Chains A and B, each alone.
Chain A
Amino acid sequence: MVAQNFRHALFCAFITLIISYPILGLNLEARGVSITLTGAETQTYVGIALAVVIVFLFQLFRPAIMETLGQVKAINPMINREPMPQEKRVKFERFALILIVLGAMFWPFIASRGAVDLATLVLIYIILGLGLNVVVGLAGLLDLGYVAFYAVGAYTFGLLFQYYGFSFWMSLPIGALLAATFGFVLGFPVLRLRGDYLAIVTLGFGEIIRILLNNLTDLTNGPDGIGGIPDPTLFGMEFGRRVKIEGNTSFHEVFNIPYDSAHKVIFLYLITLILAVFTLLVIRRLIRMPVGRSWEALREDEIAARSLGLSRTAVKLSAFTIGAFFAGFAGTIFASKQGFISPESFVFLESAIVLAIVVLGGMGSQLGVILAAIAVTILPELAREFSEYRMLVFGAAMVLMMVWRPQGLLPMTRVHINLKKQEAGVTDHA
């Protein structure tokens, strides 16, 4: 046992050495035309040696360390506690959601402009998270190309505005419906795929959309993107200092108040909030409807679902379509918020972030997704100094989550259904 541990620890230490030494310990320096290989400073070598020793010791005493870590679980308030009774959890979740929505309503009136702007971004990620939650959390279909539908929504608005002068409000439903159509179309080729294969194909789809946007220069302006995308208006009132589009009026003139650039930010925030709440409520209803239950049934056991007469095609397509619909929503808002979109905004990392939100939040759990969206968007902003290590922290957080709480922050609460007692008599069946 110990001998085996020792060998294993030695091996791990060795791997650490051969990975870290070339990466950190060797530098390529350009001197004139030639490139020379130089060693790093002593400090770095000490660092590498230290890392090797730490890995070695950790692997050697791993069982003991893991056991201690296991006891750390007890410190984690969420873990060793008796699970809340179901009815209470449902109530708790509803209460928390209402509280969050109320808090969000007052937010723009107490927070700074920058904070409101950031909150708008959080709301966009919440919409994305809730939408992807349908596909990944409920239907159990691992979609790595979700950002494609986000892009479709954003570009629909961008292009409709550029070529036809469509406003935000006209583009919003069109963008969402178009994204939904894309979701539906993507659904077909991946119907028979599961797990890894599905993930790869959706990943490819996300990239195809981005590359298309990049290369259809005539239509989309390619990497230069589309600019000047207008903000939402309120009954034809614009929030800029001057009216940009003919026929519109200006908010501050209509209400005869001094112009304030914060109005625009707050208005956009409130609209996003309304759309986020709309998304939340619609998906919440869907979960409790036959369609939502069939998504979960398919995730739980596809064969059993089919044996009960559920069509795999219909269920999967509906999940993809509805998930994509809300991504289209988020995309339109995003385009409006940024005023400028380019394929750069829709890289794979975005899909990964939204997926992380769903997984961290607890697959299927709406409250979890909302909290995770807040955490994932705000933490990097708070820790700007560490932005280089963002992905590292992200990865570490995911690993720790998988170790300690594989079911996510807040696992999904089941709907509690009160049944009326039925007479188990034979007659009332037929």
Chain B
Amino acid sequence: MLEVRDLSMRFGGLLAVDQVSLDVGEREIVSIIGPNGAGKTTVFNCISGFYRPSGGTITFKGRPIQGKPDYKISRMGMVRTFQHVRLFSRMTVVENLLVAQHRHLNTNLFAGLIKTPDYRKREEKSLERAAYWLERVGLMEMANRDAGNLAYGQQRRLEIARCMVTEPEVLMLDEPAAGLNPNETRELNELIVSLKEDYCVSVLLIEHDMSLVMGISDRINVINQGRPLACGTPEEIRTNDDVIKAYLGEE
């Protein structure tokens, strides 16, 4: 589904990502871990088109996407969340979800002004989809609140719901558990597994919470100082000497 080969990203003199490769297959949860500043978010930014990679290839659904503008990549069916939550804070929760669905909506100005049947139908459909996902992440009661007024954990869930209403094939989550309490983390854990199991979504995950990563990942990529350190199943990673050294050296 998603294939990254020898991805490099240079900022001036700093090689933030160096020859990283990774694969995400259909209905897989693949994680990227690594110490702070390892270049994980930068990998995300390259894949999602925010940065133009300095080298390497990225293939999504068999088509090269490196250097494509971010919004086109998102429209192809690969969306992401952010390490620091990015919601449309002065819009309501539902509106956040509607914005995300513009691809499913009739965006013709005149159709909207005179409310053609097609426009109404699609608008209704996306409201249903929004309601469905709000229910799913437990935010139904908050539907008409400003997104900025939600509690932190709720904002995180809304961000995931906002990705899901676009009906993506690959979902990229950047530290979704950061700042959540153990309870919320467990719920998130279940949600991510369910995304894969029930909605056929592949997940590319950056996470520091080891128990979460080890528990749900099909494969794990370890990056250290921009370079790939190891790649394998959770079991292989747990027992990998390099990884242990890097992590113990860190902490």
Interface pair B132/A308, CB less than 8 Å apart: no
How far does the alpha carbon of A321 sit from the alpha carbon of B129 in the complex, in Å?
31
Q: Is A291 an interface residue (CB 8 A)?
A: yes
Contacts of B194 in A (CB 8 A): 426
Contacts of B143 in A (CB 8 A): 417, 419
A410: min CB distance to chain B, Å: 15
Q: What 1/0 flags go to A294-327 for Cβ under 8 Å of B?
A: 1011001101111111111000000000000000
A419 touches which of B87, B94, B105 (Cβ 8 Å): B94
Q: Is A103 an interface residue (CB 8 A)?
A: no
Interface pair A306/B144, CB less than 8 Å apart: no
A309 touches which of B112, B132, B166 (Cβ 8 Å): B166
B95 touches which of A285, A293, A428, A430 (Cβ 8 Å): A293
Q: Dominant SS at the A interface?
A: loop
How far does the alpha carbon of A286 sit from the alpha carbon of B115 in the complex, in Å?
11
How far does the alpha carbon of A423 sit from the alpha carbon of B134 in the complex, in Å?
11
Q: What 1/0 flags go to B32-73 for Cβ under 8 Å of A?
A: 000000000000000010100000000000000000011110
Contacts of A421 in B (CB 8 A): 131, 135, 140
Interface pair B86/A304, CB less than 8 Å apart: yes
- Most B Cβ at <10 Å: residue of A306, A308, A310, A419: A308
Contacts of A289 in B (CB 8 A): 107, 109, 112-113
- Most B Cβ at <10 Å: residue of A301, A304, A420, A428: A304
A361: min CB distance to chain B, Å: 16
Stretch at the interface among B8-16, B75-83, B223-231, B240-248: B75-83
A308 touches which of B92, B146, B166, B198 (Cβ 8 Å): B166
Q: Given A300-B89, A301-B87, A306–B70 Cβ distance below 8 Å?
A: yes
Contacts of A297 in B (CB 8 A): 88, 91, 99
Q: Is A86 an interface residue (CB 8 A)?
A: yes
How far does the alpha carbon of A291 sit from the alpha carbon of B48 in the complex, in Å?
23
Contacts of B91 in A (CB 8 A): 293, 296-297, 300, 414
Q: Given A301-B86, A419-B140, A419-B143, A308–B131 Cβ distance below 8 Å?
A: no
Interface pair A424/B135, CB less than 8 Å apart: yes
Q: What 1/0 flags go to B88-103 for Cβ under 8 Å of A?
A: 1111101100111011
Contacts of A300 in B (CB 8 A): 87-91
Residues B144-166 near A (CB distance < 8 A) = 144, 146, 162-163, 166
Report the nearest A residue to B144, measured CB to CB.
A416
Interface pair A306/B71, CB less than 8 Å apart: yes
- Most A Cβ at <10 Å: residue of B48, B70, B128: B70
Q: Given A309-B102, A430-B199, A415–B95 Cβ distance below 8 Å?
A: yes
Interface pair B94/A417, CB less than 8 Å apart: yes
How far does the alpha carbon of A297 sit from the alpha carbon of B135 in the complex, in Å?
23
Interface pair B86/A414, CB less than 8 Å apart: no
How far does the alpha carbon of A414 sit from the alpha carbon of B91 in the complex, in Å?
7
Q: Is B178 an interface residue (CB 8 A)?
A: no
Q: Given A294-B102, A430-B199, A307–B88 Cβ distance below 8 Å?
A: no
A282 touches which of B113, B128, B144 (Cβ 8 Å): B113
Interface pair B92/A310, CB less than 8 Å apart: no
Q: What 1/0 flags go to A264-304 for Cβ under 8 Å of B?
A: 00000000000000000010011001110110110011011
Interface pair A86/B71, CB less than 8 Å apart: no
A293 touches which of B79, B99, B127, B140 (Cβ 8 Å): B99
Q: Is B130 an interface residue (CB 8 A)?
A: yes
Report the nearest A residue to B162, measured CB to CB.
A308
Interface pair A290/B98, CB less than 8 Å apart: yes
Contacts of B186 in A (CB 8 A): none
Q: Given A306-B74, A308-B79, A415-B95, A86–B144 Cβ distance below 8 Å?
A: yes
> Apart from A296-B88, A311-B71, A420-B131, what 18 extra A-B contacts exist at CB < 8 Å?
A290-B105, A291-B109, A293-B99, A301-B88, A304-B86, A305-B88, A307-B71, A307-B86, A308-B79, A308-B102, A308-B162, A310-B71, A417-B92, A421-B131, A421-B135, A423-B135, A424-B135, A430-B199
27 contacts between A and B (CB under 8 A): A86-B144, A285-B113, A289-B107, A290-B112, A291-B107, A293-B91, A293-B102, A296-B91, A300-B88, A301-B88, A305-B99, A307-B71, A307-B82, A308-B74, A308-B100, A308-B102, A309-B72, A309-B74, A309-B79, A310-B99, A311-B71, A414-B91, A422-B128, A423-B135, A429-B132, A429-B198, A430-B200
Residues of A at the B interface (CB closer than 8 Å) are 86, 282, 285-286, 289-291, 293-294, 296-297, 300-301, 303-312, 414-417, 419-424, 426, 428-430
Residues of B at the A interface (CB closer than 8 Å) are 48, 50, 69-72, 74-75, 79-80, 82, 86-92, 94-95, 98-100, 102-103, 105-107, 109, 112-113, 127-128, 130-132, 134-136, 140, 143-144, 146, 162-163, 166, 194, 198-200
Q: Which 7 A-B pairs have the closest CB atoms?
A: A300-B88, A304-B86, A309-B74, A289-B112, A419-B131, A422-B132, A424-B135
